[in-house]
Amino acid sequence: MTASYEKHDSPALRKARGAFFTPPPIARFISSWAIRHPSDRILEPSMGDAEFLVHAVERLQSLGRSSPEVFGSELHAWSAERGKQRVAERGGTALVDIGDFFAREDPCPFDAVIGNPPYIRFQDFSGEQRTAAQAAALRGGVALTGLASAWAAFTVHATLKLAVGGRLGFVLPAEILTANYAAPVRRFIFDNFGDVELVLFEEKVFGEADTETVLLLASSFGQGATKNAKIRQVRNAASLTSMPPATVWTPEDPADRWSGATVNGPFRI
């Protein structure tokens, strides 16, 4: 297994496509938050080895659903097959589209979209890949500049996969809080969700990634806009089991930098 892993999906290959393994406590936390009913339809874009879908299956089973079906999208075929195997080992079935998430078409919306979008900096995000991403974001009314990293378009496109009342649970770089290119994404989130929560970390979540991490928990899609966000700050992934009370933060303009969400703690941006 180790030799096959190094050949097909080494750390260098994953980093080149912006893929980072999500710590199980984070995938478990987001899955438990996002999935509310045993009949929920779940999608994990850029699923990698399906860490979120594994926990989604366990969550659906805990709600009383036997042999759950979950959905995934993944560009890297070897990772997709590994993910399907992991889901099957947990008693579920992963229906995976192997290809570009921005080209994915779904006849039915999803109750929850969860995951960790690829983190590809604009310098490495170019050509047809960037063109497809910008077009997908524009379908959601979001015009992204050439400086936008891949996660921005992923967040918009994933949101458009939701059913009314659906939930989006994503692991995002802290660039969402302050980057100028993310301004239209920040406004899009406030305009399309009735409730928005951000979880900030004092410690780095991904040792191999040179960025801080934020959890975006957005719910009540298509049921009105929100004017504020709930902010929670925890030490690390293990601390998600004992969340502190939320602070309600209201920006003057959702498109402005969200640095006001971090002023009372040691979170670094």
Joined tokens for residue 221: 């899609």
Q: Which of 228, 127, 119 is nearest to 170 (CA)?
A: 119
- Find, among 245, 171, 243, the residue nearest to 204 by Cα: 171
Give residue-wise pLDDT tens across range 176-220: 999 999 999 999 999 999 999 999 999 888 766 567 899 999 999
Q: What is the DSSP string of 117-133?
A: -----GGG--HHHHHHH
Q: Using a pLDDT cut of 70, give the percent of the chain over it.
A: 84
End-to-end CA distance of the chain: 38
> Which ranges constitute the DSSP H helices of the chain?
2-8, 11-16, 24-34, 51-62, 77-89, 127-139, 150-159, 175-178, 183-192
Q: In Å, how far from its chain's centre is CA 97?
A: 17
Q: Which residue ranges make up each domain of the chain?
A: 2-261
* pLDDT confidence tier of residue 262, bands split at 50, 70 and 90: low
- Homologous superfamily in CATH for domain 2-261: Vaccinia Virus protein VP39 (3.40.50.150)
pLDDT class of 30 with cuts at 50, 70, 90: very high
Mean local confidence (pLDDT), 221-243: 95
Out of 91-100, 128-137, 138-147, give the one with best mean pLDDT. Answer: 91-100
**Would you say residue 18 has pLDDT above 50?**
no
Q: Average pLDDT of the chain? A: 88
